[in-house]
Amino acid sequence: MAHQHPKRVRRPWRSPSAVRWLAAALALALSVLALRAVLESELRDASRTWVNRGLARGAVVALHWHDGALDAATTNGVFRTADGGATWQSRLAVPSERRVQGAAFGAGSPPAIALGTAAGLLLSVDGGATWRDALPAEQRAPVFGVGLGPGERVYAGQEGAALTSADGGARWRSTRDGVPALPFLAFSPEPTAPERILAGGDGGLFVSADGGGTWRPVPAWPADAQVRTIVRRASDPAHVYVGASGLGAGGLYASRDGGATWQPLGRDTLFSDHVSVVLDAGDAQYVGTRGVADTDTVGGVWASRDGGRTWAQVKTKLSNTDVISLALEPGPPRALYAGTEGGVVFRYTLDAWWVGLVPWLPALSLVEPLALGVTLTLLVVAFAGLRRRAPAARAG
């Protein structure tokens, strides 16, 4: 009997075809990782730097993005750019005797704009196309802080008095009941209960439960913290951020119960004692700070992506660090604007140019492309292993 050789077991993993497929899949995975690394490097090194967008028309007291354009309210008027700050157009120029001291933008399109000036309050209801003196002649004292609320509500802070209007400035109510001598600089009504208003200034934080008719101090507010800005989270209006100044008491405070209790944030990251502006961008919060004389603190922009538990300074090439206003360009790509005391607007690209072209890529973490490559490799190898050559026909 002829010697019977054992049947050779076919090992698809060792076949030239499987090896070629495996090499191709690994090359694909490495290419995905390399592409990711290149794009992230470009984002860090090229896009994520502050770029000076000019202006130089006085301190930039407020910024607002709407309808594809950025409005900047400065001490000398209101200016607009529709090309990311390459050019600016004047929407309102004010003389030096009407220096702008506070500004607020509404949420509509076009937005209402309120300007507190050294000679009263200027109001536009059409995005700055037209303006009018909103206060009666006998009430045109300096206005230091302004606010806009639901409907046609307007708020203004004067020394020792708070003014409120429910009809777009046609009629005003002025009260001194519970109002501190130092003027209110910021106002924030509850969106669903606009009769309840938070307001504050150098005299601390106050609340009104009757639409601004009477005021009382917020009991839990730190005594020496001077209010600079009040911002409510759009997704949860009871979640309030307040930026404050004052040595030892300044910084950022948060309340999750509409102002009943307060918690300081960012103390472990050496925040400045002067938080001048807070911006809630939904998935992140940003604060602008100013330096404090005779201390080691400097101003700038800080960011948090965990609701304020931890913060990191956004400082690349920000040459003027006294930041007093912020605005977000929704994109894509998204960008952050910072207005400074020195009159300069800076732009910081949060996303790279390729975000709009490949919108899913920024959401991928470094692990996900690797998982994608491994998955493709396994699929290719399995496919190659299943391939069988048809058995050769036996001789008759």
Per-domain residue ranges of the chain: 12-44+358-386
pLDDT at site 134: 97
- Residue identified by tokens 């409120």 is 164
pLDDT at site 309: 82
pLDDT tens digits, one per residue of 247-304: 888 889 999 999 999 999 987 665 667 899 999 988 899 999 987 666 666 788 999 9
pLDDT at site 130: 96
Separation in Å, CA 27 to CA 20, 22, 324, 362, 374: 11, 9, 50, 22, 11
Estimate to the nearest angstrom the gap between the alpha carbon of 159 and the chain centroid: 31
Give CA–CA dist 170/165, Å, rounded: 7
**pTM of this structure:** 0.78
154-158 and 145-148 beta bridge pairing: antiparallel
pLDDT at site 292: 67
Q: Mean pLDDT in each 10-residue stretch from start to end of the chain (396 residues)?
A: 54 57 66 54 54 90 96 96 93 92 94 97 96 95 97 97 97 97 97 96 97 96 95 93 89 94 81 83 89 70 87 78 93 89 92 47 46 60 52 46
Q: What angle do CA 201, 206, 208 make, to 5 degrees?
A: 130
204-208 and 216-217 beta bridge pairing: antiparallel
pLDDT at site 47: 47
Q: Are 89 and 103 in contact (CB under 8 A)?
A: no
